[in-house]
Amino acid sequence: MAKVHEITVWARGVIMDKEGRDVINIFAQAAQMEGKFAQAFDNYEDLPDRVLVTVRKYVRLSDEAIEHKYVYTNDHPEVVVVIEPTIVKGIDILRGMEKGGTLIINTNRSIEEMLKFIPNANLLGTVATVDADAITGVRTVDFSGSEGGGDTSGIGKGIASPMAGAIAKVTGLIKKENLAKIVSDVSGMERGYNEVKIKKLG
């Protein structure tokens, strides 16, 4: 079986639930356009309908059909994306990560400042930050697209587009050209791609 790339996205319930889900949907659709096999789904145990609760969203990419049967969590994430920076303080976001993983945070703070809050940062190979809030100017677009709702604002209208651009650049798993066909905010995605700050750790 080919290697399965696991990507975990951390967001906050209600206020960033749609943004978190947009990131995984954009990412999985772009991977499928390149002929990869992709899965994108929310965590089943989390409480996305409670304001501010941390929620997890997952993507899996592979060159062959993914044979993870009945497993609905990413137990060994290769890439961890944090949509709201305060999450790094309260949760072990790197749990299960193997050495040399990647962390991407949406923040305007410096990488060194964020690493202070992560006691197990020695697992990381790459850390990147992108100020997606400043690029789009909004943090919450709307509350549609949650369970049972319709998605009226389009996929990637808010901070999801710059985050997806940043992930594409840092991980190299998907191409920017395919992202541009999916997201509704193409300029935001381009800015996220260009403005992400990357630091390699020893």
Partner 1 sequence: MAKELPGYGTIDVPKDRVVPFGAVTPAPVCQQDLFQTSNWRIVRPVKDDEKCTRCLICYLSCPDACWVYKEEEDVMEWVNNFCKGCQICIQECPSGALTAAPELDFPDGVVRLNKPF
Closer CB to partner 1, residue 46 or residue 63? 46
Angle (CA) 41-12-139 rounded to 5° is 105
Stretch 164-193 residues interacting with partner 1 (CB under 8 A): none
Distance of alpha carbon 103 from alpha carbon 110, whole angstroms: 14
For residues 13 and 48, the answer to whether their CB atoms sit within 8 Å is: yes
Which one of residues 35, 69, 90, 137 is an interface residue with partner 1 (CB under 8 A)?
A: 90
Characterize the bridge pairing of strands 79-82 and 101-106. parallel
CA 83 to chain centroid, in Å, comes to 7
User: Phi and psi of 188, rounded to 5°?
Assistant: -65, -40
CB of 84 to partner 1, least distance (A): 7
Closer CB to partner 1, residue 46 or residue 195? 46
Does residue number 92 form part of the binding site for partner 1 (CB under 8 A)? yes
Token pair of 5, please? 């790339």
Does residue number 87 form part of the binding site for partner 1 (CB under 8 A)? yes
Token pair of 194, please? 């260009």
CB of 91 to partner 1, least distance (A): 6
Stretch in the footprint of partner 1 (CB under 8 A) among 61-69, 89-97, 129-137, 162-170: 89-97
Closer CB to partner 1, residue 62 or residue 74? 74
Does residue number 95 form part of the binding site for partner 1 (CB under 8 A)? yes
Closer CB to partner 1, residue 116 or residue 175? 116
CA 28 to chain centroid, in Å, comes to 11
CA–CA distances in Å: residue 168 to residues 119, 130, 162: 26, 12, 10
Stretch 38-57 residues interacting with partner 1 (CB under 8 A): 45-47, 51-56
Q: Which residues would be at the binding site for partner 1 (CB under 8 A)?
A: 12, 45-47, 51-56, 84-87, 89-92, 95, 107, 109, 113, 116-117, 119
